[in-house]
Chains A and B, each alone.
Chain A
Amino acid sequence: MSTLEIKNLHKEYVDAYTGETVTAVGDVSFSVDRGEFVSILGPSGCGKTTVLNVVAGFDKLTSGSVEVGGKPVTAPSPERGVVFQSFALFPWKTVLGNVAFGLRMRGVPRREREPVARQYLELVGLEGFERKFPHELSGGMQQRLGVARVLANEPEVMLMDEPFASVDAQTRRKLQEDLTDIFQAKRPTVFFVTHDVDEAVFLSDRVVVLSSRPSTVAEIVTVPLERPRNWRSVLENPDFRHTVTHLTDLLAGGRAHGEEQAERLSGRVDSSSEPPVRADAGGES
């Protein structure tokens, strides 16, 4: 039933400068079901983008297995379309040309690919911009085009690598709402990489939390929110706040420094009767 199945993914690479072997991904296993939205969340440098790159077929894994639709991943494929942080649109193609690109590469004739392309442009709210070039669009519109370009191929799974990290905060909120709407309408299978806790909770059915390097799965958290979702109601929802707090704690626990700090703080709260700092103890009473 699961569309994407990752088992004991382990990835090492040799640092080009130091010559040392670096473990980018320690041991990661999880799966994404058909029509499910799963985010992978972790501190920066924890290897979450590496996981995505392996799934996309851009990077080779060292050991373990990654299967999509029951077939092991060996190379990039339109079955695993990627939405990039940098948009990665083709500047020399019009908006329509960008959306129709994948269909054209697979030999779909013009007469058939144009209506499909237009349908996906309409889905992301870009109708009327067919003849524009990407640089003539705003950042938000460019990323909508990035999403439409992938969905037009009807992939087994859509991979999204921090897709909204390079747009301004207001646009990001709007894009997140648009993405849940699109998800609601089309029910694609989505694997989403982010470091933004709110974003992960708002968008996902489940959130995979990675520990810092060498990364392992700290916990897989199910998001108890109904769909359809919008920011206004989600922000007022106690379940949302509770999940966000839980994930934030998990992330803080994953860092050595954060752990210390958390212990010190909790120590103060729990044992307020005996002051933890010696200087105080000597001075008073």
Chain B
Amino acid sequence: MALTSPAGRRGGKLSRRLSAALWFLLPFVLLAAVWVVIVEVTEVEMRIFPQITDVAGAFGELWSSGELFTHVGASLRRVVLGVIAAILTGIPFGILLGSSRWVAAFFAPLLRFSVALAGIAWIPLATLWLGYGERAVIFIVWNAMFFALAYNTMLGVQRIPTQLLRAARSMGTPRARMFTEVLLPGALPNIVTGLRVGLGYGWRGLVAAEIIAASAGVGYSIFLAQKFFRTDVIIAFMIVIGVLWLITDRAVLAPLERRTVERWGMKAVTA
């Protein structure tokens, strides 16, 4: 009721933001309510599924012991390094693919093939090559993201209208500067899509790789808790992962999109 009240609609930016936030939280609140009721009614054991209060307790424990920050910190560090590596390699490679029809024709099938295999399927090889540890996990994050980012960047470059490239050339743009002046900004709507999709793959790859190849991190923690039937800890970390993803999306990708492609009126139609 309060959400659609005239005051809310007429109100300033703050109240509009507040109502947007409430709408965003509503499904989670409902989910939590269903959770509480089902666990209460079925009296399921905690080794199968925890009550919400158990999870909150586990979370409090992890917080006060500092374990939460150790593991989240370790995971974030790997994600950041893997994502930076993917951006530095995937975007230039995608632009290269997009700017030559022949190179694209050669690599596009391989790329599409690799998107399906990206990340998790590479864990055995990554650990063989790089050993169990930091480097293998970062490799997996990079690998999971790279193909999706390169592929979307390629699509973005291919979708730049020919006339735009011609306009730039006929205004004296040197070939080397076409990259930064036209191809990169022109492909940005699809690059943002590639970042979104790729980051999702990256996080999943991270969790899987940490289960196998790490001694710290959110994926490792989930796996360890499973050995002790600590479903409360498992769920607590799952929620942490989801929240971290939401924060990356809201705090990094959404503002980037608002300041660029939305401002320029060239938002990509998301598939």
Contact = CB atoms under 8 A, between A and B. Distances in A.
Interface of A: 56-58, 75-78, 80-82, 84, 86, 88-92, 101-102, 105-106, 133-136, 149, 153
B100 interface: no
A153 B171 CA distance: 8
A102 B163 contact: no
A101 B171 contact: yes
Residues of B contacting A: mostly? helix
B172 A153 contact: yes
Interface stretch (B57-65, B118-126, B212-220, B263-271): B263-271
B150 to A, nearest CB: 21
B171 A149 contact: yes
Contacts of B177: 105
5 contacts: A57-B169, A82-B167, A92-B186, A105-B174, A106-B172
Nearest to B165: A88
Given A82-B167, A105-B177, A133-B264, A88 B161 contact: yes
A84 B171 contact: no
Nearest to B188: A92
Given A105-B174, A153-B172, A82 B166 contact: yes
Given A105-B177, A133-B263, A135-B266, A90 B169 contact: no
B265 to A, nearest CB: 3
Interface in B172-227: 172-174, 177, 181-182, 185-186, 188
Nearest to B164: A88
Nearest to B177: A105
Contacts of A91: 264-266
Contact of B170 (A56, A106, A134, A136): A56
A153 B169 CA distance: 13
Interface residues of B, number: 23
A57 B164 contact: no
Given A56-B166, A92-B185, 7 more contacts: A57-B169, A76-B170, A77-B172, A80-B170, A86-B163, A90-B182, A135-B265
Contacts of A149: 171
Nearest to B265: A135
Q: Across chains A and B, which 7 residue pairs bring their CB atoms closest together, nearest first? A: A135-B265, A102-B171, A88-B163, A76-B170, A78-B172, A92-B185, A88-B167
Given A92-B264, A135-B264, A135-B265, A84 B163 contact: yes
A280 B185 CA distance: 70
Contact of B166 (A58, A90, A101, A102): A58
A150 to B, nearest CB: 8
Nearest to A87: B163
Contacts of A133: 263-265
B260 interface: yes
Contacts of B172: 77-78, 102, 105-106, 153
Contacts of A90: 164, 167-168, 182, 185
Contacts of B173: 105
Contacts of B166: 56, 58, 76, 82, 84, 88
Contacts of A58: 166, 169-170
A90 B170 CA distance: 13
